[in-house]
Structures are given as C-alpha cells and as structure tokens.
Amino acid sequence: MSYVIKKEVPSFEQFAALHEASGLHKSKKGNYTKEQLFEAAANSWFRVGIYDNEQLIAFGRMISDGIYQALICDVMVDPSYQNKGLGKQIIQELLTKCQESGIESIQLFAAKGKHHFYKKLGFQEREEDAPGMSLVM
C-alpha cells in the first residue's frame, strides 16, 4: 500500500484523533489539553506525518537547537496500522533531517514498553553512570 509523507503540521482534528487512538494522550504527565499538545507539535523544529488517503495514521516530531542537539517526541502510529513499518519510517525521516542539519546528538524518551523498538533502530540506553534525568513540576 502506498502512503503519503507530509512534513507539515497536521490539522488539529487529525492530530487529536491519532493522539487519542495511539494511547499517547493517556500516557502524558500533567493535565495538558489536546489544544496544548497540538500547539507543542506545531511549535516543534521538525515534524512528519504519514497519511493513508487524507487520514493521518502516523506522526513524529523533534525539538532541536538546529545545530547539535535534537529530542524526538510523540512518535505515534494508529493501532490499526501498527507492525507495517510506519514507526520505523517516521524515525528514519526524523534522523534524515538530523543528518541534513549536521546534528549528531539525538535523544528520545520512549513510551513504556517501546524501548526494544528503538534499540532495533540503533538507539542505545544511556550508561548507568550517566543516566538521563527529568524533573516534573
């Protein structure tokens, strides 16, 4: 099946529907509205969506300084389209953008239970003596 890749902000309705269908909305910390999550996606340095006809079926985004650091966020695939390589395709598009920009340091936060997916794509867990850290306020 042939899908269309678009490197633009999807419509709010499509983004919110995919966010909900993928379960990503439920995993978010805090009480962010769908509108706020959409604004975060719109404000991202780079984003990519995959469409079946005009329906958004996969999406991912990055925040970056555009020079040497990037953080992959919100990679999601509609459950009815999973296991078809779309998540991998999203990651490849994001990594290509980093390569084109000369960015060598790419970080991500994996959803619970998804770290094996990212390991297959070459990502490595941080060393125990240099763990990533976070602060939730």
What is the C-alpha separation between 118 and 43, in angstroms, rounded? 24
Residue 32 vs residues 14, 27, 35, 37: alpha-carbon distances, Å: 17, 11, 8, 7
Closest CA to 87 of 38, 1, 22: 22
Judging by beta carbons within 10 Å of its beta carbon (0-12, 13-18, 19+), is residue 125 exposed, middle or buried? exposed
3 belongs to the catalytic site: no
Choosing from 3, 32, 68, 118, the catalytic residue is 118
Catalytic positions? 118
